[in-house]
Amino acid sequence: MDLHEGLNGTRHRLGPIVKSVASGDIIVTRTYSDRFDMDAAVIPRSEAFGVTVQLRDFNSQRLWRGAELVHDGGGAKASLTITDLRDEWQCHSLSPFDNVRFQIPFARLRAFAEEVGRSEYVALSCFSGRIDPVMHGLAQALLPSLDNPEQANPLFLEQINLAMLAHLSQTYGGLHFPVDKKGTLAPWQERLATEFLAAHFNKPFSIGDLASRCELSRSYFNKAFKESFARTPSKWLTEYRVARVKELLLQDLSIAEVAINCGFADQSHMTRVFTSLTGDTPARFRRKNRPLGVALDPL
């Protein structure tokens, strides 16, 4: 019989079946059970995203972020949930379920972006219940490896994870991979440009200087950059700054400090730009998304 360790450290029979396999620093776990009303399970905190794919329909589940109930209901086969694991999550399954969860460190996601010549500041959007046939297919492809992790082919796991990272970063992380390379920057120019912009996101610089580093005229550089990244250099930099703001808002810094650290003239300037892109003010974003235990800025 399968054993499951509950929240109080006791082990209960007939708990969920849990199978895991690791590929580098990405951990993939399948959890399933035919029981109703399982014990609630706490998901350990980590500097990572949790990406959960449902392999079957399920009728009832409760999901808490800290003390807040954020989901109470069912889920469809192939639905996807993305969570920020810096928060404390607790899941209580009230009906049979079967899912695969990818634990993806923040550092791994950003390293992937750099490896493919995209130095954007990548962070996945968090949500619950969106149907994603691609992730469902990748999760199913991993089932034999999860059943026999000691016989899993490391190269196969690596390729599945690369496909997963490419899909997630483009679909939910804002990365752009052009299909037609005509009129785009060369790979070395893409890397140089994004690394330069990322390194100068909070300090003044000249687009003309960046263009000359890429051995292009300013006008051609702007056009080729837009073809490569589906946004102008200015738009890319603004989105990068806002992504950095989002991360710093989750730390114990004042909003004014965040503004200065991210290259904005002042807090009001940052608020205008942040609100226009996200629909939330920085203060509202912090209230909705801050990790538990981080104090709120009174401003």
Interatomic CA distance for residues 173 and 189, integer angstroms: 22
Q: Is the pLDDT of residue 99 over 50?
A: yes
Query: What is the rounded average pLDDT for all residues in the chain?
Result: 86
Which of 68-72, 78-82, 138-142, 175-179 is least confident? 175-179
Q: Is the pLDDT of residue 13 over 50?
A: no
Longest Cα–Cα distance of the chain, Å, equals 69
The pLDDT value recorded for residue 41 is 85
In terms of Cβ atoms closer than 10 Å to its own Cβ (0-12, 13-18, 19+), residue 299 is: exposed
234 vs 115 pLDDT, higher one: 234
How do beta strands 58-65 and 68-75 pair? antiparallel
pLDDT in tens, 138-153: 999 999 999 999 999 9
In terms of Cβ atoms closer than 10 Å to its own Cβ (0-12, 13-18, 19+), residue 93 is: buried
Q: Is the pLDDT of residue 3 over 60?
A: no
pLDDT in tens, 218-234: 999 999 999 888 889 99
Does residue 190 contact residue 117 with C-beta atoms inside 8 Å?
yes
Pick the CATH number of 236-289 from 1.10.10.60, 3.40.640.10, 3.30.450.20, 3.30.499.10: 1.10.10.60
pLDDT in tens, 240-295: 899 889 889 988 899 999 999 999 989 999 999 999 988 889 998 888 776 655 55
Q: Is the pLDDT of residue 6 over 70?
A: no
Give the closest residue to 66 by CA, choosing from 294, 245, 244, 284. Answer: 294
Residues comprising the chain, all counted: 299
Does residue 10 contact residue 16 with C-beta atoms inside 8 Å?
no
Interatomic CA distance for residues 124 and 82, integer angstroms: 8
**How many CA atoms does the CB half-sphere of 220 hold within 13 Å?**
12
Residue 96: CB atoms within 10 Å: 17
Interatomic CA distance for residues 82 and 77, integer angstroms: 15
- pTM listed for this prediction: 0.69
pLDDT in tens, 143-202: 999 999 999 999 999 999 999 999 999 899 878 776 666 788 888 898 899 889 988 998
The pLDDT value recorded for residue 15 is 73
Does residue 30 contact residue 100 with C-beta atoms inside 8 Å?
yes
**What is the DSSP-derived secondary structure letter of residue 151?**
G
Q: Is the pLDDT of residue 5 over 70?
A: no
Task: Provide mean pLDDT across the span 122-132.
Answer: 86
The residues that bridge with 50 in the sheet, in sequence order, are 83, 103
Q: Is the pLDDT of residue 51 over 90?
A: yes
Tokens of 251: 């730390």
Task: Provide mean pLDDT across the span 42-60.
Answer: 93
Tokens of 257: 């400090």
CATH of domain 3-171: 2.60.120.10
Interatomic CA distance for residues 45 and 42, integer angstroms: 9
